[in-house]
Chains A and B, each alone.
Chain A
Amino acid sequence: MTWSDVLLIAGGLAAGFFSGTIGIGGGVLFVPTLTVGFRLSQAAAQGTSLLAIIPTAVVGGFTHLREGNVQVQPALWMGGGGLVGAVVGALVAVEVPGPLLARVWGAFLLLFGVRLGFQAVQAFRRPATRPS
């Protein structure tokens, strides 16, 4: 085990924690960690990230189930729909590695972020609601 392995574990720990709290697979953190920090190519980083996401999401998802955080039916519908989208997306991404793809993706994220931010600001103006 080398220092770079230790750093990988530390990076995984941070990404996993984010994954558990904000509900992502951790890929948005895995990919830049692997390309910038460990000099993997974009394609290798994406493929490796996808593999790492699976156990992360299984453990996080199962813990959420036990904690009562999951609405099972919507989760299953999204998983099914996402599965179809993922197959199409992965086929496209392997063929069209492009800054364009990243830009489109970035624009969507920014838009979503801004809208969620507005909602959060509105919520802050009202009295606090504790999670049920």
Chain B
Amino acid sequence: MGVGGGFVLIPLQVLWTGTPQRFANANSLVAIVPIAVAALPIYYFRKGSPQVDFHVALFLVIGSVVGAYAGARLLKLIPDRELKMLVAVVLGVLGLKELLFP
């Protein structure tokens, strides 16, 4: 889907193995790295025209790297239940969106 899989990994850890939300989120982000690395070449090489826009990716990454650092530093300050609610809301909204307007 062009996503790293974090949205499956997080609920699996929390609901099945009872991992605290903070660890589940951080574990997920680490696990995403090999997943995205494996999926990328398939997107790039399978089709005739490149499916990756490098210009767009460059500027997107300039912002996202800074954002990711700030978000990761902030994580400890957010209590578990608030974090869980945030994840739940984001999951629910995205799920509804995909279900109704795929």
B7, B25, B32, B70: the one contacting A112 at CB < 8 Å is B7
B2, B25, B37: the one contacting A49 at CB < 8 Å is B2
Complex Cα distance A97/B50, Å? Answer: 16
Complex Cα distance A23/B57, Å? Answer: 20
Taking a contact as CB atoms under 8 Å apart, the answer to whether A16 and B71 are in contact is: yes
User: Measuring CB to CB, which residues of chain B are less than 8 angstroms from any residue of chain A?
Assistant: 1-11, 13-15, 17, 19-20, 22-40, 42-44, 46-47, 50-54, 56-57, 59-76, 78-100, 102
Nearest B residue to A12 via CB reads B63
> Known contacts being A30-B60, A64-B75, A131-B22, is A19 close to B68, with CB within 8 Å?
yes
Query: Chain A residues near B73 (CB, 8 Å)?
Result: 20, 63, 67
> Known contacts being A24-B4, A63-B73, is A113 close to B65, with CB within 8 Å?
no
Taking a contact as CB atoms under 8 Å apart, the answer to whether B23 and A70 are in contact is: yes
Taking a contact as CB atoms under 8 Å apart, the answer to whether B27 and A115 are in contact is: no
Taking a contact as CB atoms under 8 Å apart, the answer to whether B62 and A12 are in contact is: yes
Number of CB contacts from chain A to chain B under 8 A:
394
Q: Which of A17, A60, A75 has the most CB of B within 10 A?
A: A60
B39 to chain A, nearest CB (A): 4
Complex Cα distance A52/B72, Å? Answer: 17
B15, B34, B51: the one contacting A80 at CB < 8 Å is B34
Taking a contact as CB atoms under 8 Å apart, the answer to whether A55 and B43 are in contact is: no
A18 to chain B, nearest CB (A): 7
Question: Which residues 4-22 of A sit at the B interface, judged by CB distance below 8 A?
Answer: 5, 8-22
Nearest B residue to A73 via CB reads B27
> Known contacts being A63-B73, A124-B81, is A90 close to B43, with CB within 8 Å?
yes
Taking a contact as CB atoms under 8 Å apart, the answer to whether B89 and A113 are in contact is: yes
Taking a contact as CB atoms under 8 Å apart, the answer to whether B3 and A31 are in contact is: yes
